[in-house]
């Protein structure tokens, strides 16, 4: 069993990750920590673990092997660093940090300590995307020419942390990471971003939505859209020389959802329905497997591959933010 502690009492954690950790057969959920003792107690009672007041008190526990970090984006780096320095494996919410430099530092620290470090991108562990990639590799839609991906949802309550720049708010860090990571999944890490636009709130200063354009080493064009000021959408489309392949609810399929891949060619439309999967359960399973590998062999066999991609994600996000034309709305 991998014994987990949770740092932070987020709504997403309560809705998705804490139930997943509690119910996973290879995980023992030991404790949940908050700076607010009452909030920690409420979450601990709900999920059958111990409450801890203060993050440092959880990191000092001998009965915790790994931590799941569910804090505002700007707190990920310092908390993950403290966890690694305490000898804990780390599963952190995305984005891992708010800059490429901080991400690279955590990657180096995890490697030096022989610890597992992962970013909680659940969609990467859903089998539908591996199926899509194999279909593209097999030439099902001909030669790939264009990838477009989007993740958007309606405006949030005014006091939501995503509107607070000092906490790492903004649509690029919260949602833009998804089309960027999807672009890497299908096209590899050798990517060039050529342009971007961000719609920004003149009061808070955070970006509310945006788009980017990029291309791969072999000339495939990629575009991404993201934001908190839209009707809900979570999808991508791969357009090749002979057809298109579209995936809806690409980043947020519920555990009961049976994905449908839609393939459109010149004179034929086909829909392929895949089995339902729990992508966050699969994410936790992959994390636990990496921890087991460290216990058994002394190292995480996927650290180098994962870390290179994670650092590249952060570099691409940094570049989008740096070159984006900002529109005050």
Catalytic residues: 94
Cα 144 to Cα 242: distance, rounded to the nearest angstrom:
9
Q: Which residues neighbour 3 within 8 Å (Cβ) at sequence distance 6 or greater?
A: 27, 28, 30, 63, 64, 65, 66
Of 96, 140, 93, 90, give the one whose Cα is nearest residue 116. Answer: 90
Strand partners of residue 322: none
What is the C-alpha separation between 214 and 220, in angstroms, rounded?
8
**What is the phi-psi region of residue 48: left when phi exceeds 0, alpha when psi lies from -120 to 50, beta otherwise?**
left
Q: Which two tokens stand for residue 168?
A: 């790492």
Residues with Cβ < 8 Å from 321, sequence gap 6 or more? Answer: 172, 196, 198
| Phi and psi, residue 88, nearest 5° | -100, 140
**Coil, strand, or helix at residue 239?**
strand
Structure letter (DSSP) for residue 176: I
Contact 302, 174 (CB under 8 A): no
Contact 134, 108 (CB under 8 A): no
């Amino acid at each position: 069993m991998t014994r987990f502690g949770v740092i932070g009492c987020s709504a997403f954690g309560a809705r998705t990750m804490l139930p997943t950790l509690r119910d996973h057969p290879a995980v023992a959920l030991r404790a949940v920590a908050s700076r607010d003792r009452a909030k920690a107690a409420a979450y601990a009672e709900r999920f059958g673990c111990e409450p801890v007041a203060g993050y440092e008190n959880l990191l000092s526990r001998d009965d915790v092997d790994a931590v799941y970090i569910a804090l505002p984006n700007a707190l990920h780096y310092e908390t993950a660093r403290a966890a690694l320095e305490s000898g804990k494996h780390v599963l952190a919410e995305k984005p891992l940090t708010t800059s490429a430099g901080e991400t690279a530092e955590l990657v180096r620290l995890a490697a030096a300590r022989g610890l597992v470090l992962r970013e909680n991108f659940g969609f990467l562990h859903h089998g539908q995307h591996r199926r899509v990639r194999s279909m593209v590799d097999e030439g099902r839609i001909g030669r790939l020419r264009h990838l477009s991906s989007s993740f958007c949802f309606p405006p949030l309550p005014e006091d939501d942390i995503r509107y607070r720049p000092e906490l790492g708010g903004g649509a690029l860090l919260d949602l833009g990471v998804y089309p960027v990571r999807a672009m890497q999944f299908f096209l590899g890490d050798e990517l060039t971003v050529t342009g971007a636009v961000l719609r920004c709130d003149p009061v808070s200063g955070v970006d509310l939505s945006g788009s980017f354009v990029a291309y791969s080493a072999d000339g495939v064009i990629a575009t991404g859209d993201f934001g908190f000021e839209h009707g809900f959408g979570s999808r991508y489309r791969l357009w090749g020389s002979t057809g298109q392949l579209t995936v809806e609810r690409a980043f947020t399929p519920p555990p009961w959802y049976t994905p449908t891949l839609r393939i459109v060619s010149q004179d034929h439309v086909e829909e392929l329905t895949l089995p339902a999967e729990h992508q966050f359960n699969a994410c936790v399973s992959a994390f636990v497997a990496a921890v087991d590998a460290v216990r058994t062999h002394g190292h995480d066999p996927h650290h180098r591959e994962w870390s290179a991609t994670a650092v590249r994600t952060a570099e691409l996000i940094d570049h989008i933010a740096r070159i984006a034309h900002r529109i005050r709305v």
